[in-house]
Amino acid sequence: MLIVLAGFPIYWMYDTAITPRDQLFTGQPLIPDVTRTPQIFDVFTSGVPLLQWLANSSIVAFCTTFLSLLLAVLAGYGLSRYRFHGRGVVGFILFATQMLPEALLIVPLYALFAGLGLLNGLVGLVLADTAFVMPVAVWIVKSAMDSIPYEIEEAARVDGCPRFVILLRIMLPLSAPSIAAAAVIMFFDAWNEYLFASTFIQDRDKWTASVGLSSFIGEFITPLSTVFSAAIVFTIPAIVFFLLVQRHIVSGLTAGSVKG
Amino acid sequence: MPALTFSSVSKSFGSSEVISDFTAEIPDREFLVLLGPSGCGKSTMLRMIAGLIDISSGDLLFDGRRVNELEPRERNIAFVFQSYALYPHLTVRANIAFPLLMDRFRWWQHIPGIWSIERRRAMRLPEVARKVAEIAEIMELTPLLDRRPKTLSGGQRQRVALARALVRDPSIYLLDEPLSNLDAKLRSQMRIEISTMYQKVGKTFVYVTHDQVEAMTMGTRIVLLDGGIIQQQGTPTEIYERPANAFVARFIGSPAMNLIPVEVAHGGVRIPDAGILPVSDAPVAAGQSVTLGVRAEKIALAASGETDSTGTSRSSSASAPRRSWGSGSGMRRPRRSVPARCATSTTRASPVRSTSPSAIRARSA
Ligand SMILES: Nc1ncnc2c1ncn2[C@@H]1O[C@H](COP(=O)(O)OP(=O)(O)OP(=O)(O)O)[C@@H](O)[C@H]1O
Ligand SMILES: [Mg+2]
């Protein structure tokens, strides 16, 4: 049931993409005609800089993922292992940021970026996306590190391992599955992000794919086949990224370290 | 090879005091056993010696040098964790070699790529390879060297943990119940292995256990803890023969020492329903209630009417000077060669411990 629910949009996207335009409004065939391929190449030749948009999206998604994971590993380790005053408060604030809707943040961020000259550029977008998605990553990494027994770290300290090496060589590999999962979430969030991208970026060739895609929906005509073909192209890099990371998402890495 | 000095070492977690006023002087090259029931603070004590947790108050000295603030690696110790704490993502070989690699660690190895290269190079160093092979041989781990901890049994993991700690050349060895998960045969074998190791390296060992057989056979010195308070410290023989109080008497020895509530009478103690057991020169006034402790192996059957028993005891409470109960002359020794004693302690909690060898022959009632 869930698979059907989750799978239907994908099916519909594919079905729409391969159906000729005149058929779409007169009744789309439920069983896709598999002999037709999506008009993917039309999309590239239709005069829109789709490749440029995809590249922009990739840059933003990769940078956001990298930056938020870097911060999340450091912050997650600190939150998990160091007892300091206000630890609970920091944890709460992390959650609190997730309660604010994106739309609410956008006005102050816009003002801030306007002041810093970060508008209409990918750097600003990466920063905004990172700020928005990072708390989730921090939380995931912190939980993962919480579940690593203290004794492993203590053993490393006795063996003369400096703090940073403990983080890099022990904590990081042991929380790799969660970090990979967090990476997927970060990447997809940044890849799909629309509101920041559409507000901060004005130039057409700096658009991300999500903005570009929605620009197909014109005031008068909406070339559905083209939109959905482009949508397929849009999902492919995300799927590729997921497949790359997915093999790291295996559980039970800490198994065998301690008793019981 | 430091001598350890503890002066009033205490540890509290929040408001609960786990170790209180631990004072002891451990000479160089001792095999110190920290013995006590579960939850008495043995692991906590060991962690403080290692520097893994802070000492709440008091001082810890290695060879007269205060080490309270030193990091674990600056203390030059080896530690076997009760829960093994192996590195799950490394092979057995890499686990054992890890301390050796860390000895060679330089700051520029922080750079990820360089670390991998260095690690591979260091693993191939003949010195490292030799040491790993040697300790793996002793611990019977040679066939397992390329496996990961996940695929090992509890006992095998414990031996890896032991090997990782012993592979280096530290000045103090700290072991937290390293044999608790082994079967009887492997346990006695490893016991001998550790004792041999101790004799060979001639360093200070601190060994935590709740197993009195391990404590008695391996230790050169025992500190018995209960509820974070030292109950008694001394050599195994001292602790066995002169328990400082009823807790020690009950905890040490199998079967446990018989503790019988008696009343001091003239010329001995009155055992309820069994008459008077002659003990000369009672340390407390007649009429007082005390506890008489007798080791089972010191009791022999005798013909009815014959009460040929003699006990000697000596008070060891701080207030009372040591005083002998008359030692028996012309008594019959029990067949076992272990010297017997009777330990007593008054109900008012002033501990009384027995001293010179003596024998008691209790009348069969
Ligand atoms: N981090 C901690 N915070 C609070 N209490 C603790 C902490 N660590 C240990 N304790 C408490 O200290 C006491 C002693 O613990 P410890 O681990 O030293 O016992 P142990 O003698 O090693 O017992 P066992 O033989 O079961 O290993 C226990 O009551 C435990 O609950
Ligand atoms: Mg313990």
Last residue of a domain, one of B201, B219, B247: B247
Do B307 and B214 share a structural domain?
A: no
Q: Which atom of ligand 1 is nearest to the CA of B41?
A: 18
Do B174 and B100 share a structural domain?
A: yes
For the ranges A132-141, B107-116, B316-325, the maximum mean pLDDT occurs at: A132-141
Q: Which ligand has the shortest distance to the CA of B38?
A: 1
Rounded Cα gap, residues B294 and B261, in angstroms: 11
Is there a domain that residue B194 lies in? yes
Q: Which residues contact B363 (CB under 8 A, 6 or more apart)?
A: B274, B275, B277, B302, B304, B305, B306, B307, B309
Comparing A198 with A71, the larger pLDDT belongs to: A71
Whether residues B78 and A158 touch (CB distance < 8 A) is answered with: yes
Comparing B163 with A41, the larger pLDDT belongs to: B163
Which residue of chain A has the CA closest to B104? A160
Comparing A113 with A252, the larger pLDDT belongs to: A113
Res. A22: pLDDT tops 70: no
Give the per-residue pLDDT at A32: 60
pLDDT in tens, B168-188: 888 899 999 988 888 888 888
Do B128 and B74 share a structural domain?
A: yes
Do B240 and B286 share a structural domain?
A: no
Give the per-residue pLDDT at B315: 38
Distance from CA of B333 to the nearest CA of A (A): 49
Q: Which residues contact B149 (CB under 8 A, 6 or more apart)?
A: A256, A257, B84, B86, B87, B88, B92, B95, B157, B160
Q: What is the mean pLDDT of residues A186-208?
A: 85
Per-window interface: B 38-77 vs A, CB < 8 A: 47, 50, 52, 71-73, 77
- A186 contacts A104 by C-beta, under 8 angstroms: no
Q: What is the mean pLDDT of residues A172-179?
A: 89
Q: What is the mean pLDDT of residues A176-205?
A: 86
Which residue of chain A has the CA closest to B72? A158
Domain count, chain B: 2
Amino acid B87 reads Y
Return mean pLDDT, chain B.
Answer: 79
Residues framing ligand 1 (Cβ under 6 A) = B 13, 18, 36, 38-44, 82, 210
Which residue of chain A has the CA closest to B90? A170
b/e sequence A194-222, b meaning 16+ C-beta within 10 Å:
ebbbbbbbeeeebbbbbbbbeebeeeeee
List residues of chain A with CB under 8 Å from any CB of chain B: 149, 151-152, 154-162, 164-165, 168-170, 173-174, 252-259
pLDDT in tens, B27-43: 989 999 999 999 999 99
Distance from Cα B52 to the centre of ligand 1, integer Å:
14
Q: Report which of A79, A90, A72 is spatially closest to residue A141, judged by C-alpha positions.
A: A72
Is there a domain that residue B252 lies in? no
Res. A197: pLDDT tops 80: yes
Q: Which atom of ligand 1 is nearest to the CA of B82?
A: 27
- Residue B357 — pLDDT band, cuts 50, 70, 90? very low
Last residue of a domain, one of B247, B281, B309: B247
Do B199 and B59 share a structural domain?
A: yes
Q: Which residues contact A35 (CB under 8 A, 6 or more apart)?
A: none
Whether residues B52 and A154 touch (CB distance < 8 A) is answered with: yes
pLDDT in tens, B190-235: 898 889 889 888 889 999 998 888 999 999 999 999 999 999 999 9
Last residue of a domain, one of B247, B274, B302: B247
Give the per-residue pLDDT at A63: 93
Domain ranges of chain A: 50-248
A256: nearest CB among B81, B112, B149: B149
Which residue of chain B has the CA closest to A151? B85
Per-window interface: B 295-324 vs A, CB < 8 A: none
Residue B230 dihedral angles phi and psi, to the nearest 5°:
-65, 125
Give the per-residue pLDDT at A145: 92
Chain A / chain B CB contacts < 8 angstroms? 98
Find chain B residues with C-beta within 8 A of A159's C-beta.
73, 98-99, 102, 164
Give me the interface pTM, i.e. the ipTM.
0.74
Comparing B73 with A43, the larger pLDDT belongs to: B73
What does the H/E/C string look like for chain B? CCCEEEEEEEEEECCEEEEEEEEEEECCCCEEEEECCCCCCHHHHHHHHHCCCCCCEEEEEECCEECCCCCHHHHCEEEECCCCCCCCCCCHHHHHHHHHHHHCCCHHHHCHHHHHHHHHHHHHCHHHHHHHHHHHHHCCCHHHCCCCHHHCCHHHHHHHHHHHHHCCCCCEEEEECCCCCCCHHHHHHHHHHHHHHHHHHCCEEEEEECCHHHHHHHCCEEEEEECCEEEEEECHHHHHHCCCCHHHHHHCCCCCCEEEEEEEECCEEEECCCEEEECCCCCCCCCCEEEEEECHHHCCCCCCCCCCCCCCCEECCCCCCCCECCCCCCCCCCCCCCCECEEEEECCCCEEECCCCECCCCCCC
B126: domain CATH number is 3.40.50.300
Query: Among A155-159, A250-254, B139-143, B169-173, which is the least confidently predicted range?
Result: A250-254
Query: Among A71-85, A219-233, B50-64, B264-278, which is the least confidently predicted range?
Result: A219-233
Q: Which atom of ligand 1 is nearest to the CA of B42?
A: 21
Whether residues B88 and A168 touch (CB distance < 8 A) is answered with: no
Q: What letter does residue A208 receive in the DSSP assignment?
A: -
Res. A222: pLDDT tops 80: no
CATH 1.10.3720.10 fits A50-248, yes or no: yes
Which residue of chain A has the CA closest to B152? A256
Res. A250: pLDDT tops 70: no
pTM above 0.90, yes or no: no
Whether residues A157 and B52 touch (CB distance < 8 A) is answered with: yes
Comparing B47 with A117, the larger pLDDT belongs to: B47
A78-87 long-range Cβ contacts below 8 angstroms, 24+ apart? A79/A138, A79/A142, A80/A141, A80/A142, A80/A145, A80/A146, A81/A145, A81/A153
Q: Residues with beta carbon < 5 A to ion ligand 2?
A: B 43, 82
Whether residues A165 and B83 touch (CB distance < 8 A) is answered with: no
Comparing B254 with B204, the larger pLDDT belongs to: B204
Do B69 and B152 share a structural domain?
A: yes
Query: What residue owns the CA closest to ligand 1's atom 7?
Result: B13
Range of the structural domain that residue B39 is part of: 4-247
Distance from Cα A74 to the centre of ligand 1, integer Å:
29
B243: contact with A, CB 8 A cutoff: no
Give the per-residue pLDDT at B41: 92
CA distances to A127, B35, B50, B84 from B176, rounded to whole Å, are: 49, 11, 11, 9
